Amino acid sequence: MTVRRVMGAETEYGVLATGNPGANATVLSTQVVTTYAALVRRRLGAAHAAAGWDYHGESPLQDARGYTVPREQADPSQLTDVAPVLTAEEIAAEALTETGLYAESMDRRQVVMNTVLPNGARLYVDHSHPEYSSPEVTTPRDAVLWDAAGDRVALDAVRAIAASAEGTGLDVVNLYKNNTDNKSVSYGAHENYLVPRGVAFDRLASGLLPFFASRQVVCGAGRVGLGDRGQRPGFQISQRADFFEREVGLETTIHRPIVNTRDEPHADSHRHRRLHVIIGDANLSHTASLLKFGTTSLVLGLIEAGAAPDVVLADPVAALQAISHDPGLTATVALRDGRRLTGVQLQRLYLDAARAHELAGGGPDAATREVLELWEEVLDALESDPLSLADRLDWVAKYALLLGYRRRDGLGWDDPRMTLVDLQYHDLRPEKGLHHKLVAAGRMRTLFDAEQIERAAGTPPADTRAWFRGRVVTRFPDDVLAANWDSVSLTLPGVRRGARVAMPEPLGLARDDVGPLLDGAADAEELVRGLAAARPDLVHTGSLG
Amino acid sequence: MAQERIFGSGAQRREETELPEPGAPAPAAAQAQTGTSSADDLLAEIDGVLESNAEEFVKGFVQKGGQ
């Protein structure tokens, strides 16, 4: 067993025009995506419009429990497999081009709502938030790095918008990596893990419920206010806990379930399942993020091996909220067998099972050992001296700051300054964001420095198909018509109706596989011809239009 | 509340040792004092970057639904 598996992260950013609080969120999000797409095109020296997203292969209504939800029964927000029809907001977004903001850097004035980045990620307008979906990676460390790269992408967009605001008259936009506005609305930070198709979904769900209800003690981001509108004063461990209503389900925007059943593998569906995790908080702490991806991958390994701890919560949704509402970490939740355990004790059951399984299996690899040791260290500290983790975990760092304000200024939990500290912890700008301030002051540990993160914002991981996607977009930006998780479509002068390259295997078309071919090709056509000779099963020419 | 008991006591201990005894403060007390003053330095720095009108700012942070 190992922490290594194909995984990825998605972040929906909170979006705010400080000078214009009533501004339309879809327009602001479009401004963010369009601005960053223009930055990329300028950096790459590209002439044409940004590569679009290809909706071919999306199946958001396929349920992992073995059926498909009829479209007419789905909430409109679930229909993510079609390009958005122009709404009033999007027509308003067209007005962005009228200002001439993008004319300078693009030959066609175009509003971009969905694009593929040189690091293999997707950046798009998801309803009313800008969303960054990281490239596929194979280790928790890489998941942390390419998730943090998304924050750098978002920061670059914020800065570019601010720099041009005076000339364009457009709103200055701030982005926040958090999950709620404390006014009944929540937005997600999702994780994705590749799981063998052979593992029965009900085993995944039952193995994950107690783990997901309790892992917030490690990777919660902290929140001021209890209840979906923050109507009761107090502090809680998780941003997301109060927005979950069900144990298992397909929805992501309404009646949110702890275990999501969307069965959309973006890969060979006979071999793979993509577990779509919607319960997590957005993390800025690298340690919390590493443990979020690392421990979840280990628990999936336990479930796959039939070695998950035998633990069933009496009421998982109530347990999720009870654990979140108790930053003192003493609250216990009921198990179906009558026992009562704290969140930390639940986590320790999983840690012990993972340790035992590793020992039986002959010892972990380095990446796995790092996660196991850190997990144990953090659980020990949560039991002995939680505040000692203020330099490593988001919720503890935020809690320690807030306790400082209570001590110095006697602020109540319902004081607007407490809510502001909570919100501003997540501001992505180094000069304003409190997480950034803690890192700069040497009070918060990191795993990667700013330079490494900046590099990951422009470079794909080498060991998955994201490498092919990202490098093709980088090398031949004007030839990529569209791309998605499992294909890249190219328009080629010498090939009528272009070519589509299929990428059914997440580990296929990595650097070791096609590096020399891709880097050696003089143009996109040479690449496609070379690839068609080597892998005829993956290249379909004349398939576009 | 539980967290007030657990974490509050630590903060209070530090406050109690904030005034060093004249003459020779015990090393532990001196350390605790450094802890509080360094925490206050941090708060002072954060005061300087917090948005100016807290109430209006948090009221204006209104998001539309997400996933």
pLDDT surpasses 60 at B28: no
From the number of C-beta atoms within 10 Å of its C-beta (0-12, 13-18, 19+), residue A272 rates as: middle
Number of H helices, E strands in chain B: 3, 0
Say if B56 falls within a structural domain.
yes
Task: List the domain range (segments joined by +) for residue B37.
Answer: 2-17+25-60
Contacts of A438 in chain B (CB under 8 A): 42
A25 contacts B7? CB cut-off 8 A: no
B57 contacts A328? CB cut-off 8 A: no
**Residue in B1, B57, B64 nearest the CB of A128:** B64
Question: Which residue does chain B place closest to A429, by CA atoms?
Answer: B49
Say if A69 falls within a structural domain.
no
**pTM for this prediction:** 0.90
Say if A372 falls within a structural domain.
no
- Decide: helix, strand or coil at residue A42: helix
Cα–Cα distance list, B4 to A88, A413, A422 (Å): 49, 12, 18
A228 catalytic per annotation = no
A405 contacts B54? CB cut-off 8 A: no
Residue B16 sits at the chain A interface (C-beta within 8 Å)? no
Say if A512 falls within a structural domain.
yes
**Residue in B8, B51, B62 nearest the CB of A21:** B62
Report pLDDT for A251. 85
Report pLDDT for A102. 45
What is the rounded distance in angstroms from the CA atom of residue A405 to the CA atom of residue A399? 10
Q: Evaluate whether A241 touches A320 at the Cβ level (below 8 Å).
A: yes
- DSSP summary character for residue A74: S
Say if A528 falls within a structural domain.
yes
Domain count, chain B: 1
Contacts of B4 in chain A (CB under 8 A): 328
Q: In Å, how far is B4's CA from the nearest CA of chain A?
A: 8
Report pLDDT for B14. 38
From chain A residues 345-384, the ones with a CB under 8 A of any chain B CB are none
- Number of neighbouring beta carbons within 10 Å of residue A354: 27
Report pLDDT for A190. 97
Say if B67 falls within a structural domain.
no
Task: List the domain range (segments joined by +) for residue A512.
Answer: 456-541
- DSSP summary character for residue A186: B
- Decide: helix, strand or coil at residue A333: strand
Tokens of A208: 């994950």
Contacts of A21 in chain B (CB under 8 A): 60, 62
Say if A515 falls within a structural domain.
yes
ipTM of the complex: 0.90
Domain count, chain A: 1
What is the rounded distance in angstroms from the CA atom of residue A540 to the CA atom of residue A517? 18
Residue B52 sits at the chain A interface (C-beta within 8 Å)? no
Strand partners, A130: A125
Say if A532 falls within a structural domain.
yes
Contacts of B44 in chain A (CB under 8 A): none
- Listed as ranges, residues in chain A with pLDDT below 50 are 85, 88-89, 100-108
Say if A496 falls within a structural domain.
yes
Q: Spot the catalytic one: A54, A126, A326, A486.
A: A126
What is the rounded distance in angstroms from the CA atom of residue A317 to the CA atom of residue A242? 9
Q: In Å, how far is A404's CA from the nearest CA of chain B?
A: 7
From chain A residues 419-438, the ones with a CB under 8 A of any chain B CB are 419-421, 423-424, 431-432, 434, 437-438
What lies within 8 Å, CB to CB, of A301 at 6+ separation is: A1, A2, A3, A5, A354, A357
Residue A508 sits at the chain B interface (C-beta within 8 Å)? no
Contacts of B43 in chain A (CB under 8 A): 401, 404-405, 408
